[in-house]
Structure 1
Amino acid sequence: TCISTNGTLFTPELVSRLSRNRLVAIQVSMDGAKRETCDAIRGAGVFDAAIAAVKLLAATKIPTSINTVLTTQNADEIPAMHEMARSLGVSLRVSRFRPSGRGADNWESLRPSPAQLLGFSDWLASSGDVRTGDSFFSLTSQERQGLGLNLCGAAKLTCCVSPTGHMYPCAFLQTDRFEAGDLRRNSFQEIWDGSEIYESFRNLRIHSCEECQRFDQCHGGCPAVAWHLKNDINGGDPECLERCVTSIADNRLAEAA
């Protein structure tokens, strides 16, 4: 069992109970190395509560990580978050900001710039113990060299189960279009093995990206981002690194003109 939490309700008693269960990992969400950065996104007091929760968890044998979502507001603080995680005795995991849920409402104001995405990618390459990926599909830099930074694990290594028991390929595609099954009617194994939705993700090929020089590193990127921005999971990730390079080059040409 893996738990993702903001840590605000953690107490020594709760952590003691959790440590007696067979947990694979716990990740505590924090979106900045500074109190003002994190609290501006997650609410007043969340930063201090998350730090307290991480300290409690670090004293147990439960593998614990700090998870942050990369945005334009915290991109410059990621190295500091890495050092903070190390000082607390836990690891750091960085997730992409996606235009789903509340992210859709704040997409334009919080999405990292192409330069920030490229800068983070360069920093990540030299930070071997930092993890990234989809949901709990986490990769080290060594694993990324073989699998690619944005390789999608939806319906292959991970899936999403909603509070109502509905299953989806990932947490960012919780719509009727991508519902794979209902646990109130079928078992997890039946849905995992028999869902046509899951099978389509296992066979997903982003042919429009196959000629790209970076294809081996991203394999078309995140289908969820492509769906939310282009209404096409086969359309290629609009925020891929190659497009970031092109965008920066185009802007420089425009400025020079």
Structure 2
Amino acid sequence: MGKSLPIFNGSSLGGMVGAFQQQVRQFLTPPPQGEGPYDGRTVDDFKPYLIALNLTKRCNLKCDHCYLDATTKSAGGNDELSTEECYKLIDQIAEVNRGCLLVITGGEPLIRPDILDIARHAVKLGFMVVFGTNGMLINDQLAKELVEIGVMGMGISIDSLDPQKHNRFRGVPGAWESALAGIEACKRSGLAFQVHFSAQPMNYQELPAVIDWAHQLGAKVLNVFFMVCTGRGEELTDITPTQYEEVLGYLVNCQDNYKGMLVRARCAPHFKRLAYEKDPNSPITKATGYMGGGCLAGTNYARVTPNGELTPCPNMPLSAGNIRETSFADLWEKSDVFNSFRYPHLKGKCGDCEYTDICGGCRARPYV
């Protein structure tokens, strides 16, 4: 991956956090994991570096693959964390690791009328804040406010360069056009953005063109997400193993081709296996944690649901508990659920695989 992906060895947690923040500000990427599994790590080594806050189940789209099974714009808000509860949650996360990356998402987070206040509260506490959004509600005024608050950037989903195909998948006419307008508003305001592409049977062959397009548009990151069939996507068909190899192989080979834009595979830890097969000494192979494409579920990453459940990953319903009842610190540090991810005893195909220490596997796929 050349100069776009530095290597962190994690030998000093304090130094790693500083290096992490510098790298995030360059590419909007969360920090690397420390040492590998089975090395005698303690709770002090398992700091939350990335927390996804699903703060609403409301949405203005009807995407086929939505893991949250997000509902219409006016529904789904009865049990959401209140503004004050969101503030309290963010305060509690700060007690464990002030300055980590918070991804504010949903549903569509920009539907919440208090979302800018929540983002402002997080930024004032020193968190790096990024939004995960469909981009449709971003206009010049909103983009300017986000910049003034100190939001680092917006992750905007684009599933095809064919507007009709994107709109069908997203379930609403005009979704592609509105997303592109949101990207242009970000550009005019100097708000960094990244493009999120979900690899599906209907679009995976578009990936090279989408990467070129995102780079030309000025994206800082191109994240390629791979389906975990949960929520509304439970009945969808994932790409085949052969197609996985094709897509991931392309991502390995194209790393040096896009100056100023990081290209990453998400929810596909076997990405590292392909990188290792190509070059055991490559930066991808040696990089750890989020920077290296490995799964951080329950170790350095967690998700909070709209009603306050703390889960290791958005793609599994397994919960450590609810932050309305137990503090974030207690759930993060003492949960048996999270400890099972930190000291795993892999079985089945992952346990028998020769690449276990390189890849680590995806825990959501066997769970669901």
* Superposition TM-score, scaled by structure 1 size: 0.77
Please give the per-residue CA displacement for 1:61-89, whole angstroms capped at 9, x wherever unaligned. 44321101111111100111101111110
CA shift, 1:166, in A, is 1.2
Q: Does 1:41 align with 2:169?
A: yes
Q: Which residue number in structure 1 is paired with residue 356 of structure 2?
A: 215
Q: Which residue number in structure 1 is paired with residue 180 of structure 2?
A: 51
CA shift, 1:46, in A, is 1.2
Q: Does 1:97 align with 2:224?
A: no
Name the CA distance, whole Å, in 2 between partners of 1:24 and 1:192: 25
Q: Does 1:120 align with 2:261?
A: no
Q: Does 1:184 align with 2:324?
A: yes
Structure 2: runs of 5 or more not aligned: 1-128, 256-261, 276-281
Whether the aligned pair in 2 keeps the contact of 1:150 and 1:217 (CA below 8 Å) is no
Once the two structures are overlaid, the 10-residue window that deviates more, 123-132 or 77-86, is 123-132
Give the total of aligned pairs: 217
* Superposition TM-score, scaled by structure 2 size: 0.55
Whether the aligned pair in 2 keeps the contact of 1:69 and 1:94 (CA below 8 Å) is yes
CA shift, 1:59, in A, is 3.6
Counterpart of 1:20 (choices 145, 148, 162) is 148
Q: Which residue number in structure 2 is paired with residue 154 of structure 1?
A: 297
Whether the aligned pair in 2 keeps the contact of 1:134 and 1:153 (CA below 8 Å) is no
CA shift, 1:41, in A, is 0.6
Please give the per-residue CA displacement for 1:97-149, whole angstroms capped at 9, x wherever unaligned. 1111111022x3xx1122211101110101223112249xxx9x865312487
CA shift, 1:162, in A, is 0.7
Name the CA distance, whole Å, in 1 between partners of 2:328 and 2:214: 35
User: What RMSD in Å do the two structures reach over aligned CA positions?
Assistant: 2.3
Q: Which residue number in structure 1 is paired with residue 33 of structure 2?
A: none
Whether the aligned pair in 1 keeps the contact of 2:143 and 2:191 (CA below 8 Å) is no
Which of structure 1's runs of 4+ aligned residues deviate more than 6 A? none
Q: Does 1:68 align with 2:197?
A: yes
Name the CA distance, whole Å, in 1 between partners of 2:231 and 2:352: 32
Whether the aligned pair in 2 keeps the contact of 1:33 and 1:78 (CA below 8 Å) is no
CA shift, 1:205, in A, is 3.1
**Change in CA separation of 1:59 and 1:193 when aligned onto 2, cut-off 3 Å:** farther
**Change in CA separation of 1:87 and 1:116 when aligned onto 2, cut-off 3 Å:** same
Counterpart of 1:5 (choices 133, 136, 149) is 133
Q: Taking every aligned residue pair, what percent have the same amino acid on both sides? A: 25
Amino acid at match of 1:153: L
Amino acid at match of 1:98: V
Name the CA distance, whole Å, in 1 between partners of 2:345 and 2:200: 28
Please give the per-residue CA displacement for 1:18-76, whole angstroms capped at 9, x wherever unaligned. 11223343210111122122112113211111111112223444432110111111110
Whether the aligned pair in 1 keeps the contact of 2:140 and 2:189 (CA below 8 Å) is no
**Change in CA separation of 1:68 and 1:130 when aligned onto 2, cut-off 3 Å:** same
